[in-house]
């Protein structure tokens, strides 16, 4: 029996050539104290938890590779302490929340929110322990019912940053949901400057997780902003052009324009629906915590966005059935599936990854600035300054060009012109 020979293609069956897996890009991904990215992160305020998570007992948290406890004492002050008592190392998660501070369960040492030892009840009167020792503590700040902390050098602490989107006209700010991913922070954050995935992952592959119009592959461009990176996606929707801008605000904030947009109704530039922090718990686990921007006029806004207990679609596995999750993956599967830490040396980046490349260069510049003893880009020291950001959607009536190729060029031009105007505000 004869068989017809199969033509051998240049890149057929080359699995055996796959060499050893390279190491991850530790400079950009590792966040332990003393690491390049870890020291960079420690120059900025980071969210820890929502205030309503603080009750009668301390809450153990892990942030930037450090084991900590957060609590609110009976006077209403919020503290963030090293998890282990400086006396004998007992976990302060079992401590007693007191009128002022937190008292260790083991021997009763009492620590104020700044780490000062207020009481050592088993020690003789006049003990010098309170003058000689302390609990390691970090400053906290409460904003929008959310606890933030600064884990950097005390003499370099910046003012708490206020984004312009915290006070959008016609909107109010609501704390949202927090959840965790078992992977590195960077591969989650980069999702905000990867616009191509919205057409494929969120529409073509898994069905319309947002709106059907996201399935139209847009014309993309990418820009650095004074505070980070943004993509510009221009789509044709009938006789309209819908331009969507989503951004990363340094060092680790995603601002996302509404995912319920259809591009069918003309309107001027809107703001984001969400400000979300991608906070490294450690090198292979990440906290996602969000503010939701809720319009006063909620017509057209999905009910789930107004309910803090409901989740944004496609962020967590949709089912306990792994096969269902394979058939309908979302951001969780796509990002966690890149390995616990994505291996940059194995990537083959294309033109739609320019935002990812742009942001990594910005991150590297920030790390180099901290290494040189300078403030990184995106850190502002002017007390009371409101930081301008750039996320928006706009829908404009623009008649289609005569040919598909000409219309694609028209979309690129409309997107570029809009983004230039918006960045020049």
Q: What is the CATH number of domain 44-152?
A: 2.102.10.10
Strand partners for 150:
45
* Closest C-alpha to 315, from 305, 301, 306, 323: 305
pLDDT at 405: 96
Say yes or no: do domains 44-152 and 162-423 share a fold: no
For residues 314 and 208, give the distance between their C-alpha atoms in angstroms, rounded to a whole number: 10
Q: Does residue 423 surpass a pLDDT of 60?
A: yes
Q: What counts of helices (H) and strands (E) characterise the chain?
A: 10, 21
pLDDT at 288: 98
Q: What is the DSSP string of 119-138?
A: E-TTSPTT-SHHHH----EE
- For the stretch 31-90, pLDDT in tens is 999 999 999 999 999 999 999 999 999 999 999 999 999 999 999 999 999 999 999 999
pLDDT at 2: 55
pLDDT at 5: 62
What share of the chain in percent tops pLDDT 90? 88
In terms of DSSP H, where are the helices of 241-394? 303-306, 322-327, 331-336, 354-371
Angle at 295 between CA 289 and CA 300, to 5 degrees: 105
For residues 138 and 82, give the distance between their C-alpha atoms in angstroms, rounded to a whole number: 9
CB 244 within 8 A of CB 229: no
Mean pLDDT of the chain: 95
The predicted model scores a pTM of 0.94
Domain spans in the chain, listed from the N-terminal domain onward: 44-152, 162-423
* Closest C-alpha to 87, from 68, 104, 63, 66: 104
Q: How confident is the model at residue 318 (pLDDT cuts 50, 70, 90)?
A: confident
For residues 298 and 172, give the distance between their C-alpha atoms in angstroms, rounded to a whole number: 11
Q: Which residues contact 26 (CB under 8 A, 6 or more apart)?
A: 35
pLDDT at 13: 86
Q: What is the CATH number of domain 162-423?
A: 3.90.380
């Amino acid at each position: 029996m004869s068989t017809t020979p199969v033509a051998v293609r240049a890149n057929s069956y080359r699995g055996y050539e796959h060499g050893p897996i390279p190491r991850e890009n530790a400079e950009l991904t590792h966040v332990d104290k003393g690491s390049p990215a870890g020291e960079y992160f420690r120059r900025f305020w980071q969210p820890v938890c929502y205030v309503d998570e603080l009750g009668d007992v301390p809450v153990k948290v892990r942030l930037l590779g450090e084991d900590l406890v957060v609590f609110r004492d009976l006077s209403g002050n919020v503290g963030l302490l090293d998890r282990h008592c400086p006396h004998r190392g007992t976990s302060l998660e079992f401590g007693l929340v007191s009128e002022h501070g937190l008292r260790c369960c083991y021997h009763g040492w009492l620590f104020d929110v700044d780490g000062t030892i207020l009481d050592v009840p088993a020690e003789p009167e006049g003990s010098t322990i309170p003058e000689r020792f302390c609990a390691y503590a970090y400053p906290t700040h409460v904003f929008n019912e959310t606890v933030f902390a600064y884990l950097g050098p005390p003499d370099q602490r910046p003012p708490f940053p206020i984004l312009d989107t915290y006070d959008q006209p016609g909107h109010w700010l609501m704390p949202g949901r927090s959840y965790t991913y078992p992977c590195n922070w960077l591969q989650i954050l980069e999702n905000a400057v990867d616009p191509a995935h919205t057409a494929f992952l969120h529409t073509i592959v898994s069905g319309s997780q947002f709106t059907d119009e996201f399935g139209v592959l847009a014309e993309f461009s990418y820009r650095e902003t004074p505070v980070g990176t943004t993509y510009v996606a221009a789509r044709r929707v009938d006789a309209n052009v819908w331009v969507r801008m989503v951004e990363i605000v340094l060092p680790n904030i995603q601002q996302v324009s509404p995912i319920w947009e259809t591009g069918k109704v003309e309107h001027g530039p809107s703001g984001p629906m969400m400000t979300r922090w991608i906070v490294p718990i450690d090198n292979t686990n990440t906290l996602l915590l969000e503010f939701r921007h809720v319009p006063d006029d909620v017509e057209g806004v999905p009910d789930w966005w107004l309910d803090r207990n409901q989740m944004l679609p496609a962020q967590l596995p949709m089912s306990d059935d792994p096969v269902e999750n394979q058939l309908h993956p979302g951001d969780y599967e796509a990002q966690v599936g890149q390995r616990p830490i994505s291996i940059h040396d194995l990537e083959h980046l294309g033109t739609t990854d320019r935002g990812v490349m742009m942001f990594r260069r910005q991150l590297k510049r920030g790390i180099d600035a901290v290494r040189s003893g300078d403030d990184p880009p995106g850190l502002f020291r002017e007390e009371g300054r409101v930081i301008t950001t750039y996320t928006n959607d706009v829908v404009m009536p623009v008649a289609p060009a005569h040919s598909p190729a000409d219309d694609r060029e028209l979309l690129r031009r409309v997107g570029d012109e809009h983004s230039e105007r918006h960045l020049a505000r």
